[in-house]
Structure formats: structure tokens, C-alpha cells
């Protein structure tokens, strides 16, 4: 018999909930977590201004009505400390820490085809066995740390937003450089600009950012709490796993110019990531997208006083929504400050880092601190960082030309290895909480099904997997999403195969597919 029924990798929101569900099932489970506490994303990303870009009313667990009622979110978008304390509260409330081993990274998984079990090796050299492994490893958990020549020569301080020091960093009065203008860069830049002496931002690609319109949500939270079950059900069936006001039914192509401008303006004033839901065809039709993209560009030009600077900050090379949009609070206005400047590294490439700062083009920018906000090896990074072996091959080899999964839940040839929000599921294109809970529930139901029928092994058929991979690619090709060099495509990692990784067909549709497969006794899976 294996040491555990299941090993769960990661104690973020996925791992915590999975542990809770397996306990309900009466299964023994151990969680290995690389960090020193629970929280995953919100444990590591403690940089100034770190905040969720999904509304807290949606970005929270729905599995326990009591938890739903007792937790009081303060703002429309929670800041990192509040999200971390929520994860800690959940760990305490359900006594989860007892089954979590912290500061321990899983390095290898080895499938024993005779015994039907995984051997799990951790970075302290220890090994244990488990019937099932559930990778709750997160989609944005492996930082991308690009090489910059001379980095080791720099005499000042260097930080990554993705592993910000827990004790915090005093940046007041310092000369600071930030490299990267995705969500993490934007939030950091906006937060630190008022306190630093000078801030120079190195931008490779400008971001589309939609105002957060953040603020207290006391009244709305009180109202939603009176009808949370029905509210959650709507989110589960919505395209992006959260509600974007009334679900839109309008198409740009059917709308007159006045309606287009009025609706885009309305969404802009609402704020947040629902912006691309204004019309159903924004992510599918180039002309519709251009109208929305241009609307954002106009706002940027209005916010930034210096026209030349505004132009550099304005995204033109890709459609809005095809790279992850940002949700901001005064980001563009930050560039109107005297102490903030921008270097477009397409015009002035970063040549090297020196003892004193960063050389871009012909200029040496002298700084005391460099902050890297350079993103993550998204979606496949965490699993590929583990040496996963089965039947003489590795998952890394199998995925060399891009991930191959059935439903983003399992990969053929790797039995009993489940993924929470794996590639080819909606994951990063959705409210992660909705997707996490759905996957954890689906996996838990599958494990119950196996147990109740005296089976102990589950694996997708290759044909079903091929079919799903083709489906996800076909659906992506119907949209404008693959046209940008995004981390959805793996384009931010040198040498990574460019494949559109998430399932873009919508959370509600995906749920219907997966529910149907479960009901049909796991059609496309082999249960032994
Ligand atoms: P992102 O969104 O991947 O942003 C990373 C940024 O760093 C982005 O602007 C990149 O430019 C830039 N980058 C990456 N490598 C380099 C190099 N070598 N030189 C210069 N600039 C570089 O990661 P975030 O952490 O900001 O956000 C991740 C998610 O967290 C976000 O989407 C939300 O879901 C929350 P690029 O665009 O690749 O040209």
C-alpha cells in the first residue's frame, strides 16, 4: 500500500481546497508546499501595490456558505495582505496546516506501473508514495528571470516582484528602476512613484490597462450575501467565471457607431477586466477589437500630458485582450510626475547592467535599486520544473512542442496525475477561483467514482486527448488571441514552443463538457 492516498503539490487556493475535499472523502493526503506558509500567489507576490484584478466578491471560495457569510471583504479588489490573511483564515478554520509540509519543494514524480502508485521525491531528499498526485501548482508560479548581462556587477539592491522580501523594502528617497510593464510592473510603479526619489521604467511592450474603480464594497457585499448561491451559479456558467454586469448579447457588427461608443464608455466607467465583454465579438473580429483598442488608446492619450510619452505608452502592436489586460489605479497619470521617466527598450535596448545602473541605448541610468517585474513561465512552468516520469518518458519530453492534456485535467501516459487549472482548461482566462473550485470538485468526484467501483487507476485515452488538444487549438484560432506574443502563447520564454495554452471557449461551456464526460462514466478516460 502507498504511504498516502494522495499527494497534493502546492498550498495555494487550489491545494487548500483540494485537501479539504479529500478529507471529506476520507482519503489520507499530504500537501507539499515550497513556501513557508499557505497562500501560493499571495504568499510570494508581496510587492508594493500587489492587488487582485478580479473582484473579491467573485474571487473567493463558494464551497462553504458559512465562510462566505463570515468573511468581510473590505474593497472591490483586495490587496495582497487581505488575500493572504483570507488563505490563512481558511487554513485555520478547517485545520489544514496539520497535513501540509512547508518549505518543501517536489522535485520528481515517478510512476510505478505495477503498483499503480507515484513515488514523490522532495528537495530534502525524502521520498514517499501515493496512489494519486494532484498538481495544485498554479499557472503563474514559476518566475521568468531573463538574463541581463552584468547583473551580478550591480552594487545596489535587486528585487523580483514575484519573490518580494517578507520584511518589506524601504524605497523612500531612492533612485529606482523597474523592468517590465505587465500587471506586476504597473502596480509596483503606481505604488512606489510617490515615495522614491526617481523612477525609471524600462518598457518592452505597453499594456492596455482599464481603471479598477476600486473602493469600499460594504453595501454590495451585504446585498450579494443575501443571494450568494444563485450569484455563484451565474458565475459558474458565465464566460469568464464571473459576472460582467448583465451578460452581453450585443455584437459590434450589429451596433451603430453611437451605441458602440456609449457601450465602450459605460464599460470603461464600470472599470475592470469585463471591458472586453462589451461586445461578444471583441476578441473575434478585428474591426470590433480595433474599436475597443482605440477607445483605450484615446484614454491613455488624454491622461498623459506629454504627447511623445503618451505615444510610447500606447499599445498599438496587438489587439486589446490578446495579452492579459491590466487593471490600474492611476498608472498612466504616474508618468505626469516629475520624478518618473520611461525608456522604450525597442528604441534603446538594454545593453547591460553595470555597477551603477542600467545601460540602455547610449545612456547609463544610475540607480540604487532595480526591480524586475518580468513575469512567469506560465501554465506549464511549474509542472515542467518537476521531473515527472512514466513509462520511460517524461512529461517535459511529451510537452516539448506544447502541452497535451485531456480537458486540462490529465495527460495521457501519466495515470493518476491530476492538474488543477492545467493547460487547455479556461484557467488564466477566467476568475481563477471559479475554475479552481470546479476542477477540485471534478477531481474529487472522479476519485470517489474510482473508489466506489473498486478501481485505482485513471488515465485519458490518447485519441480523446488529441481530440481535445485539436478542439482547444481550433477554438483559439477562431479568435484574435493567438495573434499576440503573449505568455498565453509561451512567447515570453525564449525557446518555449508557441502554442495558445488556455481553453478560450468559456467557463460555462467548458463546465458543460466536463460535467457531461463525468456523467457518461468518464468518457475518454480509461478506468482500471
Ligand atoms: P507579465 O504580464 O508577463 O509582465 C512581464 C513584463 O515584463 C512584460 O511587460 C514583459 O514584456 C516584460 N519583460 C519580460 N522579459 C523581459 C525582458 N527580458 N526585458 C524587458 N522586459 C521584459 O507578468 P506580471 O507579473 O506583470 O503579471 C502576471 C499576471 O499576474 C498578470 O497577467 C495577472 O494575471 C496577474 P513583454 O510584454 O513580454 O514584451
CA–centroid distance, residue 159 to ligand 1 (Å): 15
What integer pLDDT is reported at residue 54 of this predicted model?
98
Which segments of 421-484 does DSSP mark as H helices, in order? 432-452, 462-477
pLDDT of residue 485: 97
State the closest ligand 1 atom to the C-alpha of 345, by its place in the atom list counted from 1. Answer: 20
**Cα–Cα distance for residue pair 214/200, rounded to 1 Å:** 26
pLDDT tens profile 5-22? 999 999 999 999 999 999
Whether residue 499 has pLDDT greater than 90 = yes
Looking at every residue in the chain, the average pLDDT score rounds to 97
Task: Please count the helices (runs of H) and the strands (runs of E) in the chain.
Answer: 16, 21
Is residue 221 left, alpha or beta, with left meaning phi > 0 and alpha meaning psi from -120 to 50?
alpha
Interval between CA 344 and ligand 1 midpoint (Å): 14
Atom of ligand 1 nearest to the CA of 485: 38
Same domain, 365 and 382: no
Ligand 1 neighbours by CB, cut-off 6 Å: 53, 140, 146, 179-185, 204-205, 324, 345, 373-376, 487, 492
DSSP codes joined into one string, 59-101: SS--S-HHHHHH----BSS-BHHHHHHHHHHHHHHTT-GGGEE
Asked which of 339, 372, 405 is the last residue of a domain, the reply is 372
* Helix, strand, coil shares, percent, the chain, to 5: 35, 20, 45
Q: Ligand 1 centroid vs 314 CA: distance in angstroms?
A: 16
Band of pLDDT at residue 513, cut at 50, 70 and 90:
very high
Q: pLDDT for 37-96, tens place per residue?
A: 999 999 999 999 999 999 999 999 999 999 999 999 999 999 999 999 999 999 999 999
- The CATH number of the domain holding residue 38 is 3.50.50.60
Write down which residue in 312, 337, 372 finishes a domain. 372
Do residues 425 and 437 make contact, with C-beta atoms less than 8 angstroms apart? no
C-alpha dihedral, 335 to 336 to 340 to 346, nearest 10°: 40
Residue 162 resides in a domain: no
**Residue 185's pLDDT band (cuts 50, 70, 90):** very high
Q: Are residues 273 and 411 in the same domain?
A: no
Global confidence as pTM: 0.98
Pocket test for ligand 1, best of 47, 54, 204 (most atoms within 8 A of CB): 204
Radius of gyration for the chain, computed over Cα atoms and rounded to the nearest angstrom: 23
Q: ∠ at Cα 428 (22, 437), nearest 5°?
A: 25
Contacts of 92 (CB under 8 A, 6+ apart): none
Q: Please, which pLDDT band fits residue 249 given cuts at 50, 70 and 90?
A: confident
Instruction: Flag whether pLDDT at 504 surpasses 70.
Output: yes
Backbone angles phi, psi at 40, to 5 degrees: 55, -120
pLDDT tens, 188-206? 999 999 999 999 999 999 9
pLDDT tens by residue, 355-408 = 999 999 999 999 999 999 999 999 999 999 999 999 999 999 999 999 999 999
pLDDT for the residue numbered 245: 78
Pair 130, 110: CB distance under 8 Å: no
What is the value of ipTM here, to two decimals?
Answer: 0.99
Locate the ligand 1 atom nearest the alpha carbon of residue 45 and give its number.
25
Number of structural domains (the chain) is 2
What is the whole-number distance in angstroms between the Cα of residue 403 and the centre of ligand 1? 21
Atom of ligand 1 nearest to the CA of 147: 18
Does the structure show a pLDDT above 80 at 248? no
Task: Say yes or no: 260 and 346 in one domain.
Answer: yes
Q: Residue holding cell 541581463?
A: 148
Domain containing 81 equals 4-142+377-527
46 within some domain: yes
Amino acid at each position: 500500500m502507498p504511504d498516502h492516498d494522495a499527494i497534493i503539490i502546492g498550498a495555494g487556493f487550489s491545494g487548500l481546497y483540494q485537501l479539504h475535499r479529500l478529507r471529506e472523502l476520507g482519503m489520507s493526503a499530504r500537501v507539499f508546499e515550497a513556501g513557508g506558509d499557505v497562500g501560493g500567489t499571495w504568499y510570494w507576490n508581496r510587492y508594493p501595490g500587489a492587488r487582485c484584478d478580479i473582484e473579491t466578491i467573485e474571487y473567493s471560495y463558494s464551497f462553504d456558505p458559512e465562510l462566505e457569510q463570515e468573511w468581510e471583504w473590505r474593497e472591490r479588489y483586495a490587496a495582497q495582505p487581505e488575500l493572504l490573511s483570507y488563505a490563512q483564515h481558511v487554513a485555520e478554520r478547517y485545520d489544514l496546516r496539520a497535513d501540509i509540509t512547508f518549505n518543501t519543494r517536489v522535485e520528481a514524480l515517478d510512476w510505478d506501473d505495477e503498483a499503480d502508485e507515484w513515488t514523490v521525491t522532495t528537495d530534502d531528499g525524502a521520498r514517499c508514495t501515493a496512489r494519486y498526485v494532484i498538481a495544485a501548482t498554479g499557472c503563474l508560479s514559476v518566475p521568468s528571470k531573463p538574463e541581463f548581462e552584468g547583473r551580478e556587477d550591480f552594487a545596489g539592491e535587486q528585487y523580483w516582484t514575484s519573490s518580494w522580501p517578507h520584511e518589506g523594502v524601504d524605497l523612500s528617497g531612492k533612485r529606482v528602476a523597474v523592468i517590465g510593464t505587465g500587471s506586476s510592473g504597473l502596480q509596483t510603479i503606481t505604488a512606489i512613484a510617490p515615495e522614491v526619489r526617481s523612477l525609471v521604467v524600462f518598457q518592452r511592450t505597453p499594456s492596455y490597462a482599464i481603471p479598477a474603480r476600486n473602493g469600499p464594497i460594504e453595501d454590495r457585499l451585504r446585498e450579494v450575501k443575501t443571494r450568494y448561491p444563485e450569484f455563484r451559479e451565474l458565475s459558474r456558467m458565465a464566460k469568464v467565471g464571473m459576472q460582467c454586469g448583465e451578460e452581453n448579447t450585443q455584437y459590434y457588427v450589429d451596433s451603430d457607431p453611437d451605441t458602440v461608443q456609449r457601450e465602450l464608455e459605460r464599460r470603461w466607467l464600470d472599470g475592470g477586466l469585463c471591458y472586453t465583454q462589451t461586445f461578444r465579438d471583441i476578441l473575434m473580429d478585428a474591426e470590433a477589437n480595433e474599436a475597443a483598442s482605440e477607445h483605450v488608446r484615446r484614454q491613455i492619450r488624454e491622461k498623459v500630458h506629454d504627447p511623445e510619452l503618451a505615444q510610447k505608452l500606447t499599445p498599438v502592436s496587438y489587439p486589446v485582450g490578446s495579452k492579459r489586460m491590466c487593471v490600474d489605479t492611476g498608472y498612466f497619470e504616474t508618468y505626469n510626475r516629475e520624478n518618473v521617466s520611461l525608456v522604450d527598450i525597442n528604441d534603446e535596448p538594454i545593453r547591460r547592467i553595470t555597477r551603477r545602473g542600467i545601460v540602455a541605448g547610449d545612456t547609463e541610468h544610475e540607480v540604487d535599486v532595480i526591480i524586475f517585474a518580468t513575469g512567469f513561465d506560465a501554465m506549464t512552468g511549474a509542472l515542467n520544473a518537476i521531473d515527472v516520469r512514466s513509462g520511460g518518458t517524461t512529461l517535459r519530453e511529451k510537452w516539448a512542442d506544447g502541452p497535451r492534456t485531456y480537458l486540462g485535467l490529465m495527460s495521457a501516459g501519466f495515470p493518476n496525475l491530476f492538474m488543477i487549472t492545467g493547460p487547455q482548461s479556461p484557467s488564466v482566462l477566467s476568475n481563477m477561483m471559479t475554475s479552481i473550485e470546479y476542477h477540485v470538485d471534478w477531481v474529487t468526484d472522479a476519485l470517489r467514482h474510482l473508489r466506489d467501483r473498486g478501481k485505482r487507476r485513471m488515465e485519458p485515452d490518447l485519441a480523446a486527448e488529441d481530440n481535445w488538444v485539436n478542439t482547444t487549438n481550433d477554438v483559439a484560432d477562431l479568435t484574435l488571441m493567438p495573434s499576440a506574443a503573449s505568455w498565453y502563447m509561451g512567447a515570453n520564454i525564449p525557446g518555449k514552443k508557441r502554442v495558445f495554452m488556455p481553453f478560450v471557449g468559456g467557463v460555462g461551456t467548458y463546465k458543460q463538457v466536463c460535467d457531461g464526460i463525468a456523467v457518461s462514466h468518464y468518457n475518454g478516460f480509461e478506468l482500471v
